[in-house]
Each structure stands twice: as structure tokens, then as C-alpha cells.
């Protein structure tokens, strides 16, 4: 199948949040704090209100009405306190966007600045153990005697790895249009990864009943986690529309997105591994330090993949958090698994070298029979199959393990590999199916954020109805449709598809229509550890004179249950791997410790991988039957591609140069240092 919405997108008929028309529409522009910590002393808006086209100024000088239930990030203009540089402290509403931006430059806000702290460091006195890590995992876990396991090891590794602040950069900016009707109901056209949850959060912030709010979001130009929760732009649009008495559009600039739409927390991770003479682990310890804001506690689950991957009789994982004067971190593609597996898989590579073992063989020797932490049986686990097939396709057997030996012209050449994993989750969702116009219509408030959800759900519905796909129409992206879970956590297709199958089956029994709610089905998901697995292989070329790193070849082999649509799956997997390449070599947001804000806040200075950065990238999967997951037997594919890729590249850089770089990204300066 081609993508259902493909023609609409390439012809421009597909509308995104900012593109919806409205009579008398006005525009709002966010004003950001110029200090990293302190209080707003005064807001002088008189001159701005006299400017041509300006309709209103929103600020703490006259706080607009919001509910006490609004989260701190969404409680706009309710306090004079400033928690981070770039926080939204005012909003200008005007007839045109140009007028709003001109007025923003003239608005006078004075601050009582206070000393700020924006640097994550391992000896920070404010480090503490949070009650849980995202979304609800235990902060710390321990099994067996790790000290004895490390002491008894024939070979051991004790290394610290670091990942920097990284930012989601979806192609479509965070944007919204808010429209109030005469009865006080609100419609928000928002760029969101979940219309149902977005509706509920907007309603809670504004003190409205959820049925008084509708979120419309049929097309979304990427999210990568940053649109998984309601962001301040949507609340600003609603407040501005109420103040102006007319529809209002808000679109954050790329620079503003760096401050108020989340990011991946930087991490400092210490890995201690011990193994016996045959390379079998005797102990594994994974300690993580990361940051959050003073407004909201967000603790990324960075060490959780170490609880899943390898058989170790002694295992300990910990997370420590410090609250700094920075924006709140949030979800970014494969939160937890992505930075955590960079550290774990780099350490496993170092252990293989120290033990004189092939990195693939080391992982095979430490394959567990059950999930190491919980002891639960895996619903399916084909990591060894991915490792073996990947090694065969990549030509791994011909590799000389000694580093720094292979050279062609000015380039040093190396290869590396890493394993990957991601949970196979699903969440409650609802759907309806009915006969319509000689075919069928399926309705669910799912989100298509560019992944091809419409196409996947059409295929699932057609199979459940035993009909052709061209007789099925899927409606999604609207909170007025049956409630659906987020497009996130690699659980969209599993969650929505379960509800769609159940609704279609109910319709076949009824003859005309069917409704499904999978809440009870999801509650019954116990008794098995559910995870997807994979293996990534990378070839790198390094110029020892300049430190330039090129990645001519990337291969990923995955075990992700049943693949619903091969074209969509490959697109997601190679997209994740490309993002992992960017993580390895390019992506880093620098903090200005003196001013307290991010320095590189656009795509001219925050570099992401492009087509020219990898010459040959391929992803494939092995056949996997798993009847314990959902009616389709599918596992998520949106995030596992990024997991492991950065470690594979870093391990290949070591093989090429003999230089182990443990802090990302791997820049020319670090190669040459």
C-alpha cells in the first residue's frame, strides 16, 4: 500500500495546525524571560498597547484566569517567579504576526535576577533519589551481591559515560489555533501526539470540563516525544483568543522550541561490569545522574535497559536527580533506553576487548533465560537471532579485532556493533467500526505524526474485516473520536490496532456497527516480559589528520513481532538509525553557564544527520511470532532503531583509531585530543 494520506501531503491538501482558516484570525507571540532565575519586578505594556495592530498583552501584571490544576509548565502568567531562561513570561496578541513580533521587541520587563545553577555535575550537593523514574519504574533495583560479584571477576570494567542535552526537532513547529464559540466551548487545532490527552490537559489548565474542549490534529509533522504532552503554546493560544475575542494562532519559532518543548536530559553514567574467564557476567552495576527543572520533576529511566539485557547473578541500577534552573526535560525518542544503552553497549564492547572475546559472542554468552530483574519469561526474545543474522549480513566474521590497523588512503577504517531493546507496550484505547457508503469506516482518536498510522490501521482493519483495504476508511486525529492513547512509547499501533480489531469483530457480529474498549484487555497484560530486540552494525572511516568521521555503512536487524507494513517499518527503523547516527556524531545543545540559557538554538548550529551523512543504511527484521502481545502480534518499531546505534558507531570509532570516546557526541576535537 501507498500511504493513505500521501497524495494529500504532496499536493498540499493536508492541513497542519497553523494552516486552518478562521474568520478574523489574530496572532500571538510568546515573550521569553531574559534571566535564568529571579522575579519579574514590573511589566510596562502601555507603549505596546498603543502600537498599531496590538490587541492585548498577557502577563503576570494582570494574570489571566487559569485553574489551580494547571501544571507548572502550563500555568502561564500566574506568578512573577522565573524558573529558567526562555520561560514564557508574556504574550503579545496582534492583528498580524509581524505586529506581534514588533511589539515584543518594545515590551519592557524588568527583573530581580538571582544567582542560577545550570550545570549537571557528579558531585552536585542537590542530588537525590526520586520516588520513581519515567513513567513509573523503581528508581533503584538490586539483585544478588554486586560487591562479591565484582571482587570475584576475572576481568572487569569501571567506566563513566556521558550524553549531552539533545533536542527534538520535528519539521513542523509546535503550533496551535484556538477558537472559542459563543457558548464558551473551545476548539484547539494543535500539533500533538495525542488529541485525547491534549484535550484533557488543556481542559484541566483552563478549568473546563473535558467535553467543553475539542482538539483537532489530523496531520502532525513529527514529534519524537516533544508533542507527547501539552505545551505552553496551546494554552497561550487559548488565553490569547479569550482576551482578543477572536481566533488566535500561535507558532513557536525554532529558537523558542529549544526552550519550552522539552529535551533529552544530559546524563552521567557509571558502568561497572565483572565477568568470569569465559566472559559470563558476575556483576553489573549501572549508576545514573541526570537533571530536571525546579518546576517539574522528570526523571528519565536511563538504567532500565540494564535490568533487561543480560544474565548477571548480581545486578544493581540507580538513578540520582538534581533540580537545576533549566527548562524541564521530557520524552525524546526512546527515552531511557537510548542514552542508557549507549553506556551499557559501550561498556560491553570494552569488556569484550578486555576479555579477548568477540563482541557478538560476549552478548550471546550472556543471553538470559528469563528477564534478569523480574524473573518473568519473555513473551518472545530473539536477540541472538538478530546478532547472528546481522553479523552474517555485515560480514563480521572477516573482522580483525585489533584496533587501528585497517587503512585506505588517508582514512582509518573500523567496524562496531551494539544490541538494542525497547519495551513492547500497549495502552487502553477505544474505537468504532461501521458500514458506510458500501464499505467500512473506522474511527479512533489516534495520531499520525508522520509514521503512517492511517495506513497501518487501514491494513489492520481490512484484515479483521476480511476485505480489501480500499473499502476501509480510517478517521483519526480528533478528540471528538473514541479516546485513544498517545503516539509514543512505540505503543501506538499495538494500542490502537487492538481496539480496531476488537471493534471490527464486534461489527461483524452485529452486521452494522461495533464499538471496542481495550481497557480490560490491557489490564490483563501480565505474566510475561514484553520487549523488542535488535542489533546494529556500523562501519566508520576516520581521518586522523582532521578528526572527521564518516559512516558509510549502517545495518540494523530487529525482532519486533509481526510487521504490519514493510515499507512503513523500514522507514521507521532507518529513520531511528539515522537519528542515532546524529546522536553519535553531531547532536549536542550547549549551555551558557554565565547567562543560563541554551546557546545553539537553531538548525544552523544544532546539527542533525542528513542524507549525505550515511551512504548505505539498511534495516531488516527476522520472522517472529508472539501470541502474547495483542491481536496483531506486533511490537513497536518507532524507537528501537535509535537504541544501540550511537554505541555501534562509538565502538567502530574505537576499532578504527584505538581511541575510546565515552562522552557524546564524537567530534573531530575529541578524536584529535
DSSP alpha helix (H) spans, 424-513: 453-465, 492-510
Residues 342, 343, 344: CA angle, nearest 5 degrees = 95
What stretches of 393-492 adopt beta strand conformation (E)?
407-408, 411-423, 430-436, 439-443, 472-475
For the chain, the structural domain boundaries read 336-424+529-672, 430-523
Extract the C-alpha cell encoding 617. Answer: 543504511
Two domains, one topology: 336-424+529-672 and 430-523: yes
Give, for 150, the enclosing helix (H) or strand (E).
helix 146-151
Instruction: Name the architecture of domain 336-424+529-672.
Output: 2-Layer Sandwich (3.30)
8 A C-beta contact, residue 83 and residue 325: yes
CA proximity to 533, closest of 333, 385, 389: 385
What is the set of active-site residues?
639
Beta bridge partners of 141: 317
Residue 76 has what pLDDT? 98
Q: How far is CA 359 from CA 152, 309, 349, 388, in A?
A: 22, 14, 6, 12
Cβ proximity of 426 and 357 under 8 Å: no
Where are any strands of DSSP class E within 182-266? Answer: 186-190, 213-216, 248-251
With contact defined as beta carbons under 8 Å apart, do 559 and 626 qualify? Answer: no
Please give the order of strands across the beta sheet that includes 315-324: 141-143, 315-324, 281-293, 267-275, 155-163
- Cell numbers representing residue 227 in the block: 508533542
Choose among 617, 364, 332: nearest CA to 488: 332
Torsion of CA 402, 406, 412, 417, to 10 degrees: -50
H-helix segments, 12-107: 46-49, 97-106
My answer on whether omega of the bond before 135 falls inside 30° of 0, hence cis, is yes
Q: How many CB atoms lie within 10 A of CB 358?
A: 18
CA 178 to chain centre: 26
φ, ψ of residue 176 in degrees (nearest 5)? -155, 155
Q: How many CA atoms lie within 13 A of 87 on its CB side?
A: 31
Residue 603 falls in which region: left (phi positive, over 0), alpha (psi -120 to 50) or beta: alpha
CB-CB contact of 70 with 229 (8 Å): no
Q: Are 116 and 37 in contact (CB under 8 A)?
A: yes
pLDDT number for residue 389: 98
Cα 12 from chain centroid? 27
CA distance 247 to 408: 62
Please tell me the distance from the alpha carbon of residue 454 to that of residue 484, in angstroms, as a whole number.
Answer: 14
pLDDT of residue 281: 98
How far apart, in whole angstroms, are the C-alpha atoms of residue 34 and residue 512?
A: 59
- HSE, CB side, 13 Å, CA atoms: give it for residue 653: 30
Please check whether the domain covering 430-523 is classified as CATH 3.30.365.10: yes
Kindly state the cell numbers that stand for 202: 488543556
Nearest-angstrom CA–CA distance, 221 and 191: 8
CA 622 to chain centre: 25
Contact in structure between 323 and 219 (CB atoms under 8 Å): no
Burial pattern 278-303, b for ≥16 Cβ within 10 A else e, equals ebbbbbbbbbbbbbbbbbeebbbbbb
In this structure, the strands spanning 411-423 and 531-542 are antiparallel
Give the whole-angstrom CA distance, residue 60 versus residue 64: 8
Which triple of cell numbers denotes residue 441? Answer: 469506516
Q: What is the pLDDT of residue 611?
A: 85
For residue 139, the model assigns a pLDDT of 98
Instruction: Give 10-residue mean pLDDT values along the chain (673 residues).
Output: 93 97 98 98 97 98 95 97 98 98 97 98 98 97 98 98 98 98 97 98 98 98 97 98 98 98 98 98 98 98 98 98 98 98 98 98 98 96 98 97 96 98 97 96 98 97 97 98 97 97 97 96 91 98 97 98 96 97 98 97 95 92 92 96 98 98 98 92
Report residue 535: phi and psi, to 5°: -145, 135
Compute the distance between CA of residue 160 and CA of residue 347 in angstroms, rounded to an integer: 9
Query: CA 581, CA 131: separation in Å to the nearest integer?
Result: 33
Question: Which residue blocks in 429-475 are alpha helix, DSSP H?
Answer: 453-465
pLDDT value of residue 525 = 85
What's the pLDDT score for residue 158? 98
Left if phi > 0, otherwise alpha if psi is -120 to 50, otherwise beta: which for 406? beta
Cβ neighbors of 593 (< 8 A, separation 6 or more) are 118, 119
Residue 592, H or E segment: strand 591-592
Evaluate the omega torsion of the peptide bond into residue 71 and state whether it is cis, within 30 degrees of 0: no
Element (H, E) at 557: strand 549-559
Question: CA-to-CA distance for 560 and 620, rounded, in angstroms?
Answer: 10
Amino acid at each position: 500500500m501507498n500511504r493513505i494520506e500521501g497524495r494529500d501531503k504532496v499536493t498540499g491538501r493536508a492541513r497542519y495546525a497553523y494552516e486552518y482558516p478562521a474568520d478574523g484570525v489574530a496572532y500571538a507571540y510568546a515573550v521569553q524571560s531574559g534571566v535564568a532565575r529571579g522575579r519579574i519586578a514590573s511589566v510596562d505594556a502601555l507603549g505596546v498597547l498603543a502600537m498599531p495592530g496590538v490587541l492585548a498583552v498577557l502577563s503576570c501584571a494582570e494574570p489571566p484566569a487559569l485553574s489551580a490544576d494547571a501544571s507548572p509548565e502550563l500555568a502561564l502568567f500566574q506568578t512573577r517567579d522565573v524558573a529558567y531562561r526562555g520561560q514564557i513570561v508574556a504574550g503579545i496578541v496582534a492583528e498580524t504576526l509581524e505586529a506581534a513580533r514588533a511589539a515584543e521587541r518594545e515590551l519592557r520587563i524588568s527583573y530581580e535576577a538571582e544567582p542560577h545553577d545550570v550545570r549537571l555535575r557528579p558531585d552536585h550537593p542537590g542530588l537525590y533519589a526520586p520516588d520513581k523514574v519515567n513513567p513509573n519504574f523503581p528508581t533503584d533495583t538490586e539483585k544478588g551481591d554486586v560487591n562479591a560479584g565484582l571482587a570475584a571477576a576475572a576481568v572487569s570494567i569501571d567506566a563513566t559515560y556521558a550524553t549531552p542535552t539533545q533536542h527534538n526537532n520535528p519539521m513542523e513547529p509546535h503550533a496551535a489555533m484556538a477558537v472559542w464559540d459563543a457558548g464558551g466551548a473551545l476548539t484547539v487545532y494543535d500539533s500533538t501526539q495525542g488529541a485525547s490527552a491534549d484535550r484533557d490537559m488543556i481542559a484541566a489548565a483552563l478549568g473546563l470540563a473535558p467535553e467543553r474542549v475539542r482538539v483537532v490534529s489530523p496531520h502532525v509533522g513529527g514529534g519524537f516525544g516533544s508533542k507527547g504532552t501539552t505545551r505552553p503554546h496551546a494554552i497561550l493560544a487559548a488565553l490569547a483568543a479569550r482576551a482578543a475575542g477572536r481566533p488566535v494562532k500561535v507558532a513557536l519559532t525554532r529558537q523558542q522550541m529549544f526552550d519550552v518543548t522539552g529535551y533529552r536530559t544530559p546524563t552521567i553514567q557509571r558502568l561497572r561490569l565483572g565477568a568470569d574467564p569465559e566472559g559470563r557476567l558476575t556483576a553489573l552495576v549501572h549508576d545514573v545522574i541526570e537533571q530536571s527543572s525546579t518546576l517539574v520533576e522528570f526523571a528519565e529511566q536511563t538504567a532500565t535497559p540494564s535490568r533487561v539485557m543480560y544474565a548477571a547473578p548480581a545486578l544493581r541500577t540507580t538513578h540520582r536527580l538534581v533540580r537545576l534552573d533549566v527548562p524541564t526535560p521530557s520524552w525524546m525518542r526512546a527515552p531511557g533506553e537510548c542514552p542508557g544503552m549507549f553506556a551499557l553497549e559501550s561498556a560491553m564492547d570494552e569488556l569484550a576487548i578486555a576479555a579477548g572475546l568477540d563482541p557478538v559472542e560476549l552478548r550471546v554468552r550472556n543471553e538470559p533465560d528469563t528477564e534478569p530483574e523480574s524473573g518473568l519469561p519473555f513473551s518472545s526474545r530473539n536477540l541472538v537471532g538478530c546478532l547472528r543474522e546481522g553479523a552474517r549480513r555485515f560480514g563480521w566474521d572477516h573482522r580483525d579485532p585489533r584496533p587501528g590497523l585497517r587503512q585506505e588512503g588517508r582514512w582509518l577504517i573500523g567496524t562496531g556493533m551494539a544490541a538494542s531493546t525497547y519495551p513492547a507496550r500497549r495502552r487502553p484505547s477505544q474505537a468504532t467500526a461501521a458500514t458506510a457508503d458500501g464499505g467500512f469506516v473506522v474511527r479512533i482518536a489516534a495520531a499520525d505524526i508522520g509514521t503512517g498510522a492511517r495506513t497501518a490501521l487501514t491494513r489492520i482493519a481490512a484484515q479483521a474485516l476480511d476485505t480489501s483495504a480500499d473499502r476501509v476508511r480510517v478517521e483519526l486525529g480528533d478528540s471528538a473520536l473514541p479516546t485513544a492513547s498517545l503516539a509514543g512509547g512505540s505503543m501506538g499501533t499495538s494500542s490502537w490496532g487492538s481496539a480496531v480489531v476488537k471493534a471490527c469483530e464486534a461489527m461483524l457480529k452485529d452486521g452494522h456497527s461495533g464499538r471496542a474498549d481495550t481497557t480490560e484487555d490491557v489490564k490483563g497484560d501480565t505474566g510475561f516480559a514484553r520487549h523488542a530486540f535488535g542489533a546494529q552494525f556500523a562501519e566508520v572511516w576516520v581521518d586522523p589528520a582532521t578528526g572527521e568521521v564518516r559512516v558509510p555503512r549502517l545495518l540494523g536487524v530487529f525482532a519486533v513481532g509481526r510487521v504490519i507494513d514493510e515499507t512503513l517499518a523500514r522507514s521507521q527503523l532507518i529513520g531511528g538509525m539515522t537519528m542515532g547516527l546524529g546522536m553519535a556524531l553531531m547532536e549536542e545543545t550547549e549551555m551558557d553557564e554565565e547567562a543560563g540559557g541554551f546557546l545553539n538554538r537553531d538548525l544552523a548550529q544544532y546539527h542533525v544527520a542528513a542524507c549525505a551523512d550515511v551512504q548505505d543504511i539498511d534495516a531488516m527484521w527476522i520472522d517472529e511470532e508472539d501470541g502474547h502481545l495483542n491481536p496483531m502480534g506486533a511490537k513497536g518499531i518507532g524507537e528501537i532503531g535509535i537504541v544501540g546505534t550511537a554505541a555501534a558507531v562509538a565502538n567502530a570509532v574505537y576499532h578504527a583509531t584505538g581511541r575510546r570516546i565515552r562522552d557524546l557526541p564524537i567530534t573531530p576535537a575529541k578524536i584529535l585530543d
